[in-house]
Structure 1
Amino acid sequence: MKAIVFATDFSESAFNTAQYITLLAPRLNVRKIILYHSYEIAPAVSDVPLDTPKTYEVLREESHEKLQQLEDKLLNITEDVTFERVTNELPLTLGVNKLADQYQHVFIAIGASGKTKWQKVFMGSNAIAMARDTKYPLLVVPKEASYRIFNNIVYACDLKEVAKTTPSNIIKSFVKDLNTRLLIVNIDHNESEHFNPDTIVDQYKLHELFEDMNTEFHYLDDKDLINGIINFALEHQAGLLIMIARNYHFFEKLFHRSASERMIELTKIPLLLLKEI
């Protein structure tokens, strides 16, 4: 069974993400969405003792109530999806991964950035931890993104060991289910100055991987990688941006620095982060 594990903090941004994936799910042939909330208690920063068991009990009851309210709202959107409500005190990433492990075809969805500074820091740190510590596809939905039918998916890639590292089956699944065109873009700057003969081989392998799909290949020059990707996606009215994150520093750059606001908040384009195979 296909499923989506949606992690919520009950913010306005999270509710927008819930609406988005509820409308998206049927197009992906997903019939089940797990609504998950972690009420993990932060480490104490005071010498004053807390009544931990009671605190957990209160948080659990509040979480169940809010998840029920969320489900009731989402049921008004579509009847094509069933929901399961799960809440516990596990750390967020661990809780999400344990749920995702129960399904053969699954991806994780979270919202990107709330309105307040605290929410932005919270969601940014969670996004980094989630992207770093989960093996599952991670869909990050900007707070102002609204679901619409779209014709183009942009896959921004480098040309490093393409055949060995590209999760092409996942990318193809999204493209086929959504019945879109796949626009593959590689952005470099002054490529001739650091030319590697292997690049030509990887270009050929990239074309070979996606030759059975409605695909366009674009090779652009831009010294600002993030800016180049954003401009390309906006120019082609992409409804989804796919990237493969290779290391922790990528996550830091994407979610914590100015790139995060440009890539996620301003573009209004959902971002699907994949791990290399």
Structure 2
Amino acid sequence: MKKSILLPTDFTELAYHAADYAINLAKQINISEIIIYHAWQAPVTIDAGYSNANLMNGEELREISDENLNSFAEKIQKIAGDSIQIIKEIEYSPVASGVEDICEKHDVAYVVMSVSGSGKFVEKVIGSNAVTTAKNSTIPVIIVPANYHFQPIKNIALSCDYKEIKSTIPITPIKTILNETTAKLFVVNVDVTRELSDQDLEDANKMLHESFESTDPEFHILEEDNFVDAINNFSKENDIDLIIAVPKKKGFFETLFKGSRTTELAFNSKTPILVVH
């Protein structure tokens, strides 16, 4: 089994929040290392006359980043205790592009990040490091809501639209988290469009049941108009501790104007989201 959890950090309150979740998750699934990763970037200017000043600012920023990383790691190590080793990584890179290399270097099982609720403009256009990382990472990413406090993972909901499930549902990483946590699986389809026939639903349930038979999954069809509200209400009513989301690939303008369910969940879910590909 992979032995590390990656915790990208910018040293904010949200970063400490994600760290608390990562520590408790590591203890639940017997992971012994947490990699604290900080990606820093120097200020950018288009005036060549300021190149020397820019270089100095970059050096100063690196020194400050090192100091912040050391302080952050020290605090996290005290919280984690002796059973978990805290490893520091820092590099000059955008967060999302640096995560893959760090994951490979340290044999990472999960990336843990946090995100705050935000307005529609940020949600759809700007996004966040957590969402960008989750959509591009080949390693499962857990996005922790700002106000969520860790609960041992006992119930997991797989959000599934039942479209092309044979080619879009990654069975292996889902089975892995189920085995590691021994959690119960709920397969949830929010039928907003009412496009699926009874036969479509029956065939999808049969395939998913065969794939996750050992977990004895429950299947739920929710005929609701608002996807996020439906998932949040279901999670509250069924004590869901983790929601699995599988991003669907879309073109830029389709994502921008029609929205992405994964992005909606990331910014608005009351429960942590595990994004798998």
Q: Same fold (TM over 0.5)?
A: yes
Q: Aligned equivalents of 2:88 and 2:125: distance in 1?
A: 22
Number of residue pairs matched by the alignment: 270
Cα deviation code 1:205-240 (max 9, x no counterpart): 111111111421112211222221111111112111
Stretch deviating more after TM superposition (180-189 or 12-21):
180-189
Of 226, 229, 237 in structure 1, the residue corresponding to residue 228 of structure 2 is: 226
Alignment of 1:211-250 (within 5 A): 211-248=213-250
Alignment of 1:134-213 (within 5 A): 134-189=137-192, 191=194, 194-195=196-197, 197-213=199-215
Q: Which residue in the other structure is 2:36 paired with? A: 35
**Are the equivalent residues in 2 in contact too, given 1:245–1:251 (CA < 8 A)?**
no
Stretch deviating more after TM superposition (195-204 or 213-222):
195-204
Alignment of 1:36-51 (within 5 A): 36-44=37-45, 49-50=50-51, 51=53
Gaps of 5+ in 2: none
Q: 1:115 to 1:18 in 2, by over 3 A?
A: farther
Q: 1:96 to 1:113 in 2, by over 3 A?
A: same
Gaps of 5+ in 1: none
Stretch deviating more after TM superposition (196-205 or 63-72):
196-205
Q: 1:105 to 1:47 in 2, by over 3 A?
A: closer
Q: Which residue in the other structure is 1:130 paired with? A: 133
CA displacement at 1:122 relative to structure 2: 11
Q: Secondary structure at the match of 2:18?
A: helix
Q: Aligned equivalents of 2:173 and 2:112: distance in 1?
A: 15
Q: 1:236 to 1:95 in 2, by over 3 A?
A: same
**Are the equivalent residues in 2 in contact too, given 1:114–1:123 (CA < 8 A)?**
no
Q: Aligned equivalents of 1:119 and 1:28: distance in 2?
A: 34
Q: Secondary structure at the match of 1:185?
A: strand
Cα deviation code 1:6-41 (max 9, x no counterpart): 111111111111111011112122211111111113
CA displacement at 1:116 relative to structure 2: 11
Q: 1:86 to 1:120 in 2, by over 3 A?
A: farther
Stretch deviating more after TM superposition (102-111 or 43-52):
43-52
Identity over the aligned pairs, expressed in percent? 27
CA displacement at 1:48 relative to structure 2: 6.4
Q: Aligned equivalents of 1:42 and 1:274: distance in 2?
A: 33
Q: 1:247 to 1:58 in 2, by over 3 A?
A: same
Q: 1:214 to 1:204 in 2, by over 3 A?
A: closer
CA displacement at 1:164 relative to structure 2: 2.7
**Are the equivalent residues in 1 in contact too, given 2:242–2:274 (CA < 8 A)?**
yes
Cα deviation code 1:71-120 (max 9, x no counterpart): 11112223221111111111211111110122445222211028999998
Q: 1:215 to 1:37 in 2, by over 3 A?
A: same
- Aligned AA (1:93): A
Of 95, 100, 116 in structure 1, the residue corresponding to residue 98 of structure 2 is: 95
- Aligned AA (2:228): I
Q: 1:20 to 1:265 in 2, by over 3 A?
A: same
Q: Aligned equivalents of 2:77 and 2:165: distance in 1?
A: 41
Q: Aligned equivalents of 2:119 and 2:162: distance in 1?
A: 38
CA displacement at 1:254 relative to structure 2: 5.0
Q: Secondary structure at the match of 1:34?
A: strand
Q: Which residue in the other structure is 1:4 paired with? A: 5
- Aligned AA (1:41): A
Q: Secondary structure at the match of 2:185?
A: strand
Question: What's the TM-score, normalizing by structure 1?
Answer: 0.85
Q: Secondary structure at the match of 2:79?
A: coil
CA displacement at 1:175 relative to structure 2: 1.9
Stretch deviating more after TM superposition (59-68 or 125-134):
125-134
